[in-house]
Amino acid sequence: MQKNIIVVSVLFLFLLLATYNAIFQQSDGQKDEYYISAFTLYKSVEEKMEKIRGFEVDVPFTVVDKRWVLERWGAEAIDEEYLNDEEIFYKALLLVPSDFRFEERRNKEVGSFMAFYWEGKIYVVRENFNPTDNSSGEALAHELEHAIQDRFGISSDDTFDGDKAYGAIVEGDAVLAGWLYSDKSVENQIKATKEKISCDNEPNEGYDSNLHLIFYFPYLFGSKFIGSKYLEGGYAEVDKILENPPSTTEQIMHPEKAGEGFEKVDAGFDSSGFDPQWRVVRDDRMGEFFIYIFLSTHLNDCVAEKAAEGWNGDNLKLIRKNGEFSFLWKISFDSKMDADEFEVALLEMLRKLGEKRDDWWILELNNEKITYERDGKYITIIGKGEAPLN
Reported as a single tens digit per residue, the pLDDT across 186-223 is 999 999 999 999 999 999 999 999 999 999 999 999 99
Same domain, 19 and 86: no
Same domain, 59 and 17: no
Same domain, 161 and 200: yes
User: How does strand 61-64 pair with strand 121-125?
Assistant: parallel
pLDDT at 306 over 50: yes
The dihedral sign for the CA sequence 103, 323, 211, 117: negative
Same domain, 236 and 335: no
Question: What pLDDT sits at residue 12?
Answer: 37
Domain count, the chain: 3
Identify the CATH number of the domain in which residue 301 sits: 3.30.200
Question: What pLDDT sits at residue 258?
Answer: 85
Asked if 299 contacts 284 with a C-beta cutoff of 8 angstroms, the reply is: no
Question: What is the DSSP code (8-state) at residue 368?
Answer: E
Lowest-confidence pick of 78-92, 118-132, 256-270? 256-270
Give the end of a domain, one of 257, 292, 318.
257
pLDDT at 19 over 60: no
Same domain, 48 and 19: no
Same domain, 211 and 121: yes
Beta strands in the chain (DSSP E): 61-64, 115-118, 121-125, 279-284, 311-321, 324-333, 354-357, 360-363, 368-375, 378-386
120 within some domain = yes
Asked if 26 contacts 33 with a C-beta cutoff of 8 angstroms, the reply is: no
Q: What is the pLDDT of residues 217-269, one digit of tens each?
A: 999 999 999 999 999 999 999 999 999 999 999 999 999 998 889 999 999 98
Mean pLDDT, range 346-358, rounded to an integer: 88
CA distance linking residue 8 with residue 1, whole number of Å: 11
Nearest to 214 by CA among 224, 228, 204: 204
Same domain, 100 and 234: yes
Same domain, 352 and 247: no
Same domain, 250 and 344: no
Same domain, 189 and 302: no
Query: In terms of C-beta density within 10 A (0-12 exposed, 13-18 middle, 19 or more buried), how is residue 188 classed?
Result: exposed
Average pLDDT, the chain: 90
Question: What pLDDT sits at residue 14?
Answer: 38
CA distance linking residue 139 with residue 280, whole number of Å: 38
pLDDT at 289 over 50: yes
pLDDT at 20 over 80: no
161 within some domain = yes
Q: Which domain holds residue 316?
A: 279-386
